[in-house]
Chains A and B, each alone.
Chain A
Amino acid sequence: MFFTYLRRELRRRRKAALVVASGLALGIALVIVVNSVSTGMSRAQGKVLESLYGLGTDLTVTKAQERPEDGSRPQRPRFEFQGKEEGEEQSSDRLMVQGFQTLADSTVASVAGQPGVDRAVGGLSLVNLKINGEFERGRIQRGQTQQGQPGGENGQNGGAQNGQNGGAGGGSGPGDTVTGGGAAFDVDSFTLYGTDVTAPDLGPLTTSTVSRGRTFKTSETDAKVAVVDSAYAQEQGLDVGDELTVKGIEFEIVGIATADRGQSAAQVYLPLKQAQTLSSSASKITTIYVKATDSTRIDALKTAIQKNVTGTTVTTSADLARTVSGSLDTAADLASNVGRWLSYAVLLAAVLVAGLLTSSAVTRRVREFGTLKALGWTSGRVTRQVVGEALVNGVVGGALGIAIGLVGAYAVTVAGPTLTAELGSVGGAFGGGGGGRGGTVFGGGPGGTATGRTVDIALTAPVGITTVGLAVLLALGGGLVAGAFGAWRASRLRPADALRRVE
Chain B
Amino acid sequence: MYELIGVTKQYRRGQTRVDALAGVDLTLDQGDRLVIQGPTGGGKSTLLQMLGGLDRPTSGRVLLDGIDLAALSERRLTAVRGQNIGFVFQSFNLIPTLTAQENVETALVPLGIRPAERRGRAAEALESVGLGERRGHLPSELSGGQQQRVAIARALVKRPKVLLADEPTGNLDESMRDEIVDVLEGLWKEHGLTFVMVTHDSAIARRAPRLATIRKGRITIKENRPAAPAPVEA
**A residues within 8 Å of B by Cβ?**
1, 4-5, 8-9, 11-12, 367-368, 370-379, 381, 494-496, 499-500, 502-503
Contacts and interface: CB of A to CB of B under 8 A. Distances in A.
Contacts, number: 80
A367 B91 contact: yes
A53 B98 CA distance: 69
A107 B61 CA distance: 94
B105 A371 contact: no
Nearest to A369: B95
Given A4-B102, A8-B98, A381-B109, A371 B93 contact: yes
Interface size class of B (residues with CB under 8 A): 20 to 34
B199 interface: no
B107 A376 contact: yes
24 contacts: A4-B98, A5-B98, A5-B102, A8-B98, A12-B97, A367-B91, A368-B93, A371-B87, A371-B93, A372-B95, A373-B78, A374-B52, A374-B54, A374-B87, A375-B82, A375-B106, A376-B79, A376-B81, A376-B111, A377-B82, A378-B78, A496-B49, A503-B45, A503-B89
A11 B107 CA distance: 23
B95 A368 contact: yes
B75 interface: yes
Contacts of B91: 367, 502-503
Instruction: Name the residue among B54, B91, B111 with the largest chain A CB count within 10 angstroms.
Output: B54
Given A4-B102, A8-B97, A496-B49, A375 B54 contact: no
A378 B74 CA distance: 9
A371 B89 contact: yes
Contacts of B87: 371, 374-375
A499 B89 contact: yes
B110 A378 contact: yes
Contacts of A374: 52, 54, 81, 87
Nearest to B94: A371
B33 interface: no
A11 B81 CA distance: 30
Q: Which 8 A-B residue pairs are closest in the complex by CB-CB distance?
A: A376-B82, A376-B110, A8-B97, A496-B55, A371-B93, A496-B54, A12-B97, A495-B54
A6 to B, nearest CB: 10
A372 B97 contact: no
Contacts of A502: 91
Interface of B: 45, 49, 52, 54-55, 74-75, 78-79, 81-83, 87, 89-91, 93, 95-98, 102, 105-107, 109-111, 115, 118, 154, 166
B106 A503 contact: no
Contacts of B115: 1
B78 A1 contact: no
B150 to A, nearest CB: 12
Contacts of A12: 96-97
B108 to A, nearest CB: 9
Contacts of B81: 374-376
Contacts of B154: 375
B55 A5 contact: no
Nearest to A376: B82
A373 B96 CA distance: 16
Contacts of B106: 1, 372, 375, 377
